[in-house]
């Protein structure tokens, strides 16, 4: 029934009209998705009817924020309570706002029916920078209209249908007779609409949900190469509107000059036989180096560490005093650790280039017969890890869904580390060898909740995070107790790093620029690596080439880091914070902002940056600046050109000396 006892009729209600407008827009986004696929079937082989239905369903996840973003004015016009909402002219204005806005959305989708073939990606705002210097835009546009007249005709038909269906949406005047009661009800509904709107554009209401981005598409696309189908062009344009665009630079005028200074192309010369050891990578949530005693022997008697097991493990590992993160967010760690690709200017996963084809340790080892799996105890899809792991070639993903026991869920972020790392160990015992496994821990994340049985067990220190560091350290100890009894254990290289430092820091030393990226990075192989603790530099992007070098991987690949076990290149590290590049080279930290060096420090003797040497050491400043600019040019230009694999690179015989 549509009529209640007091005469309320839902079908003629103004909020019902809003819902119908939005649903109508969703229908046309789906029609455009079908058209997009039909015009580009050759680019998406292997799609069956069942797969296509899954892609259509996945597309709804991106259509909803796209529709809400583009129809924000419509939502505002209908939601804000005032008498004109029911005026005939006002209703026509609302209708035309809907038709015009969604006609533009349809147009962008239809243009991508053809333009996708040029870029092999949904159009983003980079299109404007790409064509900003073109003088023949009018002629290009005219050429498009003439050449693809059938798309113009299709667009006209779609807009005509959109207008006709929109004309059928109507609503009557206030159905609550009392003006005051009607006004109060409308006011009370505003926060409801706001909450629903925000949840829709973010892609969910979970605590761990980040605003959905282009990089989430592989999660819903069955195969990463189908990601363009589940996306829609309005979403791609709008979602990159607030993202800083990575632009090509030309500090070096020729590739030869550039490659002599720095090249990310690795051409191994190792002639040793490939060593098919298993590889297990731990990415520890918020494990700042300041929590681990092995790195802080100079801190004095008042210092206290909170990771005794990691201390003992480091004493039997290859570790480095100066070890740095390449980013400051969890989403920046995965490309750095697993692809040797730092996030500069903008997190790579959130950038408009997140669909670029990249090397990863998973994709490269796949050619050597490795099976790969990624583990994260949070709800599947959290932080975009599931999608990105699929994009870079991991075979399987194991998250909260696969763990399948919410009794061990902390209620906010993830399954607690202790049970999840046991799950991790036991699951690996079912894998065929050789395998690559990566686990991203979670319990040391704010709000630092521990299982009830550990209330009072871990005393921690002055910071709440320190209790959870102790807990996670215990969880890692128990993992090794379990794993050490398994047949694959002795044939496994273990790699430890953190995603980034904790936002909670006790010591002033770690409030400096080097301190805010100081994390543990070390390598452990049971009986297979000579323990050492070197006063050298390493950063996350060194992990992939170091592991590949250890295994004697012999094929060319792209990596922005270095193999620390073999290469004699000068150590370097990089990260980006507050619009400033922080480039570590040899003993120095160069800070570079607005295309010029702004600081030079000897980070080994001046860790807290008290003495700027930029004027005292102009020659050193110039040399390091040249090397940083080469790094930036290789990074920016390769990302913009989708040239991050050897398939797109011309093998250079000249190896760079960074």
Among 239, 257, 285, give the residue marking a domain's end.
Answer: 239
Q: Is 542 a domain residue?
A: no
Residues 494 and 588 in one domain: no
In a domain, 186, yes or no: yes
Look at residues 551, 545, 548 and name the one whose alpha carbon lies nearest to residue 563.
545
Q: Is residue 546 part of a domain?
A: no
Give the residue, 631 or 411, on which the prediction is more confident. 631
pLDDT at 145: 82
Please write the tens of the pLDDT for every residue from 77-98: 888 777 777 788 988 999 999 9
Burial of 479 (0-12, 13-18, 19+ CB in 10 A): buried
Mean pLDDT of 245-259: 92
Short-list 394, 360, 367, 340, CA closest to 276: 367
Cα dist from 579 to 513, 536, 561, whole Å: 13, 27, 22
Nearest to 419 by CA among 375, 377, 385: 377
Nearest to 155 by CA among 113, 189, 126: 113
Distance CA 251, CA 632 (A): 9
**Pairwise CA distance, residues 349 & 45, whole Å:** 26
> Residue 2 above 60 pLDDT?
no
Mean pLDDT of the 296-300 span: 91
Higher-pLDDT residue of 129, 327? 327
Distance of CA 240 to the CA centre of its chain: 14
d(CA 263, CA 256): 10
Domain presence at residue 2: no
Q: Residue 512's pLDDT band (boundaries 50, 70, 90)?
A: confident
194: CB partners within 8 A, 6+ apart: none
pLDDT score, position 88: 87
565 shares a domain with 447: no
Give pLDDT, residue 79.
82
Query: Domain residues for 312?
Result: 277-536
Both 367 and 507 in one domain: the answer is yes
Report the CATH number at residue 429: 3.40.720.10
Q: Does residue 149 lie in a domain region? A: yes
Same domain, 517 and 641: no
Mean pLDDT (whole number) for 464-471: 95
High-pLDDT (> 70) share of the chain, %: 88
When pLDDT is averaged across residues 463-486 and rounded to a whole number, the result is: 97
Q: What is the pLDDT of residues 186-227, one digit of tens each?
A: 676 667 767 776 766 666 666 555 677 777 787 788 766 788
End position of a domain, from candidates 502, 536, 570: 536
**Domain count along the chain:** 3
Averaged pLDDT for residues 408-431: 95
Q: Which of 356, 355, 400, 392 is nearest to 375 (CA)?
A: 400
C-alpha separations of 540 from 267, 455, 641 in Å:
20, 34, 24
Smallest Cα–Cα separation from 502: which of 546, 446, 549, 555? 446
369 within a domain of the structure (yes/no): yes
* pLDDT greater than 80 at residue 55: yes
Q: 550 in a domain, yes or no?
A: no
* Dihedral (CA of 263, 265, 266, 269) sign: negative
pLDDT score of 128? 65
Cis peptide leading into residue 447 (ω within 30°) = yes
Q: What is the mean pLDDT of residues 278-287?
A: 97
Q: Please report which confidence band the pLDDT of residue 654 belongs to, taking 50, 70 and 90 as the band edges.
A: very low
Residue 603, domain CATH: 3.30.1120.10
Measured CA to CA in angstroms, residue 243 lies from 115, 236, 544 at distances of 22, 11, 27
Question: Looking at residue 513, what is its pLDDT?
Answer: 87
Parallel/antiparallel/unpaired status of strands 596-602 and 588-593: antiparallel
Q: What is the pLDDT of residues 100-146, one digit of tens each?
A: 999 999 999 999 998 887 666 788 775 665 555 445 567 667 777 88
Whether residue 614 is found in the same domain as residue 581: yes
pLDDT reading at 244 higher than 90:
no
Three-state secondary structure call for residue 320: strand
Same structural domain for residues 211 and 84?
yes
Residue 236 has pLDDT above 80, yes or no: yes
Return the pLDDT at 491.
Answer: 97
Task: Say if residue 96 is in the same domain as residue 218.
Answer: yes
Same domain, residue pair 258 and 326: no
Q: Tell me the C-alpha distance between 176 and 86, whole Å.
A: 13
Euclidean distance between CA atoms 544 and 497, whole angstroms: 12
pLDDT of residue 207: 58
DSSP line for 371-414: EEEEEE-SSTTGGGHHHHHHHTT-SEEE-HHHH--GGGB-SSS-
d(CA 584, CA 512): 14
Mean pLDDT, rounded, of the chain: 87
Q: What is the pTM of this model?
A: 0.76
Q: Which of 221-230, 592-601, 618-627 has the lowest mean pLDDT?
A: 221-230
Q: Do 233 and 257 share a domain, yes or no?
A: no
For the ranges 8-22, 281-295, 502-516, the one whose mean pLDDT is highest: 281-295
- Identify the residue with better confidence: 76 or 256: 256
Domain end position, chosen among 506, 536, 566: 536
| Candidate from 19-28, 242-251, 254-263 with smallest mean pLDDT | 242-251
Structure confidence at residue 33 (pLDDT):
95
Token pair listed for 350:
């959130």
Within-domain flag for 541: no
CA–CA dist 657, 636 (Å, integer): 19
Instruction: Identify whether residues 528 and 626 lie together within a single domain.
Output: no
Instruction: Answer yes or no: do 482 and 631 share one domain.
Output: no
- 320 lies in the same domain as 374: yes
Average pLDDT over residues 348-365: 87
Beta strand 557-558 with 265-266 is antiparallel
Give the range among 135-139, 221-225, 355-359, 531-535 with minimum mean pLDDT: 135-139
Band (pLDDT 50/70/90 cuts) for residue 7 is very low
């Amino acid at each position: 029934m549509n009529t209640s006892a007091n005469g309320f009729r839902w079908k003629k209600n103004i909020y019902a009209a809003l819902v119908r407008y939005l649903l109508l827009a969703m229908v046309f986004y789906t029609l455009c998705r079908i058209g997009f696929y039909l015009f580009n079937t050759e680019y998406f082989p292997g799609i069956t009817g069942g797969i296509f239905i899954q892609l259509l369903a996945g597309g709804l996840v991106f259509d909803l924020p796209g529709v809400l973003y583009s129809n924000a004015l419509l939502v505002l016009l209908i939601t804000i309570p005032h008498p004109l909402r029911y005026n005939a002219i006002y209703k026509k204005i609302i209708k035309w706002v809907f038709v015009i806005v969604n006609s533009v959305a349809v147009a962008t989708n239809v243009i991508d029916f053809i333009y996708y073939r040029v870029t092999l990606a949904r159009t983003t705002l980079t299109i404007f920078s790409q064509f900003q210097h073109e003088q023949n835009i009018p002629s290009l546009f005219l050429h498009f209209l003439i050449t693809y007249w059938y798309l113009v005709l299709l667009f006209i038909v779609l807009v005509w249908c959109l207008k006709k269906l929109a004309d059928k949406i109507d609503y009557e005047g206030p159905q609550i007779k009392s003006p005051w009661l009607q006004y109060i009800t409308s006011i009370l509904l505003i926060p409801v609409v706001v909450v629903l709107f925000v949840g829709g554009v973010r892609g969910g209401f979970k605590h761990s949900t980040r605003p959905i981005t282009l990089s989430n598409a592989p999660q819903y696309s069955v195969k990463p190469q189908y990601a363009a189908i589940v996306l829609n062009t309005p979403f791609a344009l709008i979602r990159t509107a607030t993202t800083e665009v990575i632009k090509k630079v030309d500090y070096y005028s020729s590739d030869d000059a550039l490659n002599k200074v720095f090249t990310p192309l690795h051409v191994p010369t190792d002639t040793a036989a490939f060593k098919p050891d298993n590889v297990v990578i731990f990415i520890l949530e918020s494990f700042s180096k300041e929590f681990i005693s092995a790195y802080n022997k100079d801190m004095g008697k008042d210092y206290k560490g909170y990771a005794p097991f990691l201390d003992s493990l480091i004493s039997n590992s290859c570790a480095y005093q100066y070890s740095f993160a390449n980013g400051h967010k969890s989403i920046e760690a995965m490309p750095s650790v697993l692809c040797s690709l730092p996030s500069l200017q903008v997190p790579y996963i959130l950038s408009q280039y997140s669909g670029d084809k990249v090397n990863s340790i998973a994709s490269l080892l796949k050619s050597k017969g490795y099976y790969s799996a990624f583990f994260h105890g949070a709800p599947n899809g959290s932080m975009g890890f599931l999608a990105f792991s699929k994009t870079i070639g991991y075979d399987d993903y194991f998250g909260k869904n696969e763990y399948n026991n919410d009794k061990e869920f902390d209620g906010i972020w993830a399954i607690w580390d202790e049970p999840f790392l046991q799950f991790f160990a036991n699951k690996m015992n079912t894998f065929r060898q050789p395998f690559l496994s990566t686990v991203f821990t979670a319990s040391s994340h704010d709000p630092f909740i521990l299982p009830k049985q550990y209330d009072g067990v871990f005393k921690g220190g002055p910071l709440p995070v320190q209790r959870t560091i102790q807990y996670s350290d215990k969880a890692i100890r128990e993992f090794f107790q379990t794993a050490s009894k398994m047949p694959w254990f002795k044939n496994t290289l273990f790699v430890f790093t953190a995603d980034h430092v904790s936002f909670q820091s006790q010591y002033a030393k770690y409030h400096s620029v080097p301190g805010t990226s100081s994390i543990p990075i070390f390598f452990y192989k049971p009986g297979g690596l000579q323990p050492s603790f070197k006063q050298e530099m390493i950063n996350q992007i060194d992990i992939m080439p170091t592991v590949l070098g250890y295994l004697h991987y012999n094929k060319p690949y792209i990596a922005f880091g270095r193999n620390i076990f073999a290469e004699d290149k000068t150590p370097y590290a990089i990260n980006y914070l507050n619009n400033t590049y922080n480039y570590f080279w040899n003993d120095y930290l160069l800070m570079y902002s607005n295309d010029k060096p702004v600081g030079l420090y000897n980070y080994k003797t001046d860790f807290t940056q008290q003495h700027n040497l930029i004027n005292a050491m102009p020659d050193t400043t110039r040399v390091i600046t040249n090397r940083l600019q080469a790094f930036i040019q290789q990074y920016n230009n390769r990302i913009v050109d989708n040239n991050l694999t050897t398939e797109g690179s011309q093998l250079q015989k000249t190896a760079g000396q960074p």
